[in-house]
Amino acid sequence: MTTANDFSAAARAAVAALASSTVNPADAVRLLSQLAIYSPTNATSTSPIGVAMGVMQAASNDLFRRAAVVALARASAKYQPFSVDDAARVRGIVCGALDSEISIAGDQHEDATFNALRSLRAAVVLDLTARGAGLPTIAQVGTPLPIPAIALAQQLYRDPSRADELVTQANCPHPAFMPVSFKALSQ
């Protein structure tokens, strides 16, 4: 790498490669949300070289975090929420990471970055709100005794083919004995 632009492009490429290595968008959201909040400790001294190293470390941290936040927003656009609650959860994760980075950019007087991140945040909010609007909500399911998933699917949805969905949502070890209380899609 010979220029700062090369370094910046390499950082974005590394984050993009990481995001593309995930199996599905949910994995990308989970992975990138952790990367977006990562902050290594500065191991520099107070000497002139140490101070210069600290400045470079801080700039590199900003670069990689911002690349991760942008990739996180892109991953959220590919993510398909299964409920209104899930869309709100992902929106909260992405907006939380964006809000942190917006604050950092504002504190550093980086107006262009600040405005770009705010625009990206607005787009994420609009996108996930619109895509989550027509989806069902999550409801608490309760039964007096454990019953089989197929019977519960018929009772809740009038569709026994959704038994596997209930087993997954309840994280149930065996479909013949569903827990007496868990959360599932309302419809």
Q: Give pLDDT tens digits for 171-180.
A: 888 888 888 8
pLDDT of residue 42: 66
Residue type, 61: N
| Averaged pLDDT, 81-96 | 92
Instruction: Return the structure tokens found at 169.
Output: 């949502």
pLDDT at residue 181 tops 90? no
pLDDT of residue 1: 59
Query: Which residue would you say has higher pLDDT here, 84 or 184?
Result: 84
Share of the chain above pLDDT 90, in %: 33
CA distances to 16, 64, 119 from 67, rounded to whole Å, are 8, 5, 15
Question: Backbone dihedral region of 155: left (phi > 0), alpha (psi from -120 to 50 degrees) or beta?
Answer: alpha
Is there a contact between 92 and 79 (Cβ–Cβ < 8 Å)? no
pLDDT at residue 91 tops 70? yes
pLDDT of residue 72: 94
